[in-house]
Structure formats: C-alpha cells, structure tokens
C-alpha cells in the first residue's frame, strides 16, 4: 500500500524489514562546523581568527586549482609555501602568490579563475563567489608586471576577500617541485607545482639588491633568515638560481656587499624602526633577532653565493640548515 503524502513519514532504521523507508536526519551545516573548528584552533594557538579563515579558504582554492583544467598553468610561490615547509608557518599570511605559465591578460585570468571557483569539489564549507571576480595589473611599468585577481568567499556567513597575485616570466631554478599542500582540517589535499627554496632565495635577494636604500620589505629579510635556518643548500645550485633570476630580471650582480646586507643598513635607525613595526604587525612563529644581529647572519649565508654567481669564483660547497658554509 502506498504511503499517503499528507502524513508525516515515520523514523525508520536499516534494521527494519526489507522495503521499509529509511529517512535521514537534518543535514549538517558543514560551513558552520568548519568555521567553529577553525575559530577554536585559532584561539587555542593565539592566532588571528580572520587570518586562519583566510588561510583555509586559500588552501581550498589551491585544491580546486589542482583538480581543474588549469592546474599546469600555475606554480605556487610566496609566503603560502611556509605552511608547506614548516608545521608551524614562519609568519602568518593572507595572500596567495602564483607564477603564471599561460596568457597574462587580465581577461584570460578572470576566465581561468572563474573555472577554478566553479569546480565541483567535496563540501569543505567554502563558497566562492565567482560573480565578485575582478582583476587589475600590478606594476604595469615593469617588464615583469603581473595581475592581481580578487574575489570573495564565504564560510557560514563570514565573508572573506581573497587576493591572488599572479606574476609571469620569472626563472625557476632548479625546476618547480610537485608538492602536496597540507590541509588544516584533513580535507582532500592539493597536489600542484611549487617554487623550490633556491628560487625563493634568489627572488628575495634580487629585490634586496634592486631596491637598495629604498627597501622597506622587512618580510623579505625575515624570510631569508628563516629559510637559511630551515633548509640545507648546495652552493653551486643556489648560485645558479641567483644568476638565472638576476639575468631574467636584468639586474646587475653586485661585486660589493649590497646596502641591504651591510652594517650600515643594520645600524640605520629608520630600518630598525621598520623592522620593529614589521614584528608588531606580523604573527611570527620563530623568535626573530634584532636587525643588528639578523643582517650579519643573512649576509654570511648570501654573500659567498652572490659573489660566485657574479664572477668566476667557485661557489661554496654545502650549507647545513643554520649554516655555516662548508667545503
């Protein structure tokens, strides 16, 4: 006998006789659960809740990118790598940086990201708002100008603005590495290509040299210090990466110690004030040193390979994590 549609359906269970109706309870609000778990995690670790929500959204964006038709067109770079390299990220970040391998036009990137945002992924509590997609050029006066892609995402009512900076034309030495990006909550992980540490060092060193006295990018000094303490390097490989990046960006390799690695920089009151301001506004996992001690450490790491990259001088042999260079 057919059930009447105007009667409430009884609660049934799998143990009932064959043919009995099995009904489901109310659907779990995944977004609310995710937001609550991330909030609890942030508070337990003393982290900024908004920042950890944003980091989770970027993680889920990377997953969608990795399973999309555009996965081979982008390489992960920037501070999001630190979550990959260390269980406790060196410094908190809410930005995503990618190296683009395809069409650099803003319209092409909007089309690609629209596809990525609309990937049918497992329910991870994140809703990407593709209708908010927009893009604008960054550093249009530079030869290696990029595009900034912006859009919004939501987790259970929390609206989060996301910014992705996509650069083009940079050298990656050695080749980009296939990585598996960790998940904060055990969701499916992104498998994609990422910068090797050597290229990260080379790009930050090139910025340090090219900006000179005007350099206020204190995050680069911190990153170089943290990377030198975390990774082992082979001198010839790092020297090749530095040379390739400087050549690609048409920056002359200095024969003398650049200002950003000098004692004068470390002792400059304005730079020390910028360093302290950076530490105050940034969540740092590692205990940083005063600028007067940090710069000599970075210089000891970089100057031997920088000299080798710009001359016929043989590069140093091996850098164990934390140094010093060994033959």
Asked if residue 234 lies in contact with residue 316, where contact means CB atoms within 8 angstroms, the answer is: no
Judge whether 74 lies within some domain.
yes
In a domain, 23, yes or no: no
Is pLDDT of 236 > 90? yes
> What's residue 19's pLDDT?
43
pLDDT surpassing 80 at residue 14:
no
pLDDT of residue 289: 79
pLDDT at 212 over 80: yes
Q: Is residue 5 part of a domain?
A: no
Give the whole-angstrom CA distance, residue 55 versus residue 93.
7
Q: Please say if the pLDDT value at position 116 is more than 60.
A: yes
Q: Is residue 25, in this structure, part of any structural domain at all?
A: no
Same domain flag for 50 and 97: yes
β-bridge partners, 69: none
Mean pLDDT, to the nearest integer, of 82-111?
85
User: How many Cβ atoms are within 10 Å of 36's Cβ, its own excluded?
Assistant: 13
- Could you tell me if 65 and 160 lie in one domain? yes
Give the whole-angstrom CA distance, residue 305 versus residue 297.
Answer: 14
Q: Is the pLDDT of residue 287 over 70?
A: no
Total number of domains in the chain: 2
For residues 150 and 227, state if they share a domain: no
Residues 56 and 176 in one domain: yes
> In the block, which residue shows the tokens 């391998």?
101
Report DSSP letters for 103-133, one per residue.
---HHHHHHHHHHHHT------S-EEEEEEE
Residues 105 and 174 reside in one and the same domain = yes
3-class secondary structure, 218? helix
For 103-135, b where at least 16 C-beta lie within 10 A, e where not — what string? ebebeebbebbeebbebebeebbbbbeeeebeb
- Write down the pTM of the prediction: 0.86
Please check the confidence at residue 263 and state whether its pLDDT lies above 50: yes
Residues 106 and 147: beta-carbon distance below 8 Å: yes
CA angle 237, 241, 247 (to 5 degrees): 140
Look at residues 169, 195, 221 and tell me which one is the last residue of a structural domain.
195
Of the residues 195, 221, 256, which one is the last residue of a structural domain? 195
Average pLDDT, the chain: 88
Indicate whether 24 pLDDT > 60: no
pLDDT at residue 308 in the model = 96
When pLDDT is averaged across residues 247-272 and rounded to a whole number, the result is: 95
**Domain match, 39 and 182 both:** yes
pLDDT of residue 95: 86
pLDDT value for 142 = 58
Return the pLDDT at 249: 92
User: What SS3 state is found at 220?
Assistant: helix
Q: Write down which residue in 174, 195, 216 finishes a domain.
A: 195
User: 215 and 143, same structural domain?
Assistant: no
Domain limits for position 217:
198-319
pLDDT for the residue numbered 13? 42
State yes or no: pLDDT of 252 exceeds 70: yes
Are 106 and 135 spatial neighbours (Cβ–Cβ below 8 Å)? yes
What pLDDT does 54 receive? 95
Question: What was the pLDDT predicted at 221?
Answer: 95
**Per-residue tokens: 179:** 């990585």
236, exposed or middle or buried, with CB in 10 Å at 0-12, 13-18, 19+? middle
Q: What confidence score (pLDDT) does residue 17 get? A: 45
Q: Do 62 and 78 lie in a common domain?
A: yes
Please tell me the predicted confidence (pLDDT) of residue 229. 92
Residues 64 and 182 grouped into a single domain? yes
Compare 121 and 136 and report the one with higher pLDDT.
136
Does residue 15 belong to any structural domain of this protein?
A: no
Q: Tens digit of pLDDT for each residue in 35-88?
A: 999 999 999 988 889 999 999 999 999 999 999 999 999 999 998 998 888 765
| Dist. CA 304–CA 296, nearest whole Å | 13
Average pLDDT value for residue range 87-116: 87
């Amino acid at each position: 006998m057919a059930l009447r549609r105007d009667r409430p359906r009884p609660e049934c269970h799998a143990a009932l006789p064959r043919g009995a109706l099995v009904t489901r309870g109310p659907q779990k609000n995944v977004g609310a659960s995710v937001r609550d778990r991330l909030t609890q995690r942030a508070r337990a670790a003393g982290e900024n809740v908004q920042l950890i929500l944003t980091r989770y959204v970027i993680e889920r964006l990377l997953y969608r990118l990795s399973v999309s038709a555009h996965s081979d067109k982008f390489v992960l770079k920037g501070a999001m790598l630190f979550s990959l390299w260390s269980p406790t990220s060196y410094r908190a970040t809410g930005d995503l940086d990618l190296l683009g391998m395809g069409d650099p036009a803003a319209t092409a990137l909007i089309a690609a990201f629209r596809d990525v945002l609309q990937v049918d992924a497992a329910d991870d509590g994140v809703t990407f708002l593709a209708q908010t997609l927009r893009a604008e050029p960054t550093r249009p006066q530079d030869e290696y100008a990029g595009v900034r892609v912006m859009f919004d995402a939501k987790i259970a009512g929390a609206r989060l603005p996301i910014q992705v900076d996509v650069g083009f034309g940079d050298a990656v030495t050695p080749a980009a590495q296939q990585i598996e990006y960790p998940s904060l909550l055990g969701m499916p992980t992104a498998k994609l290509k990422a910068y090797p540490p050597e290229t990260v060092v080379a790009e930050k060193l090139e910025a340090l040299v090219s900006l000179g006295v005007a350099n206020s990018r204190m995050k680069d000094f911190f990153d170089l210090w943290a990377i030198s303490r975390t990774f082992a390097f082979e001198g010839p490989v790092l020297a090749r990466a530095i040379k390739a990046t400087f050549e690609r960006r048409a920056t002359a390799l200095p024969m003398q110690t650049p200002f950003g690695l000098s004692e004068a920089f470390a002792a400059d009151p304005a730079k020390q004030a910028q360093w302290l301001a950076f530490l105050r506004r940034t969540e740092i996992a590692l205990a940083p040193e005063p600028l007067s001690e940090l710069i000599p450490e970075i210089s000891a790491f970089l100057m031997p390979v920088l000299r080798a990259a710009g001359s016929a001088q043989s590069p140093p042999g091996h850098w164990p994590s934390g140094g010093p260079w060994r033959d």
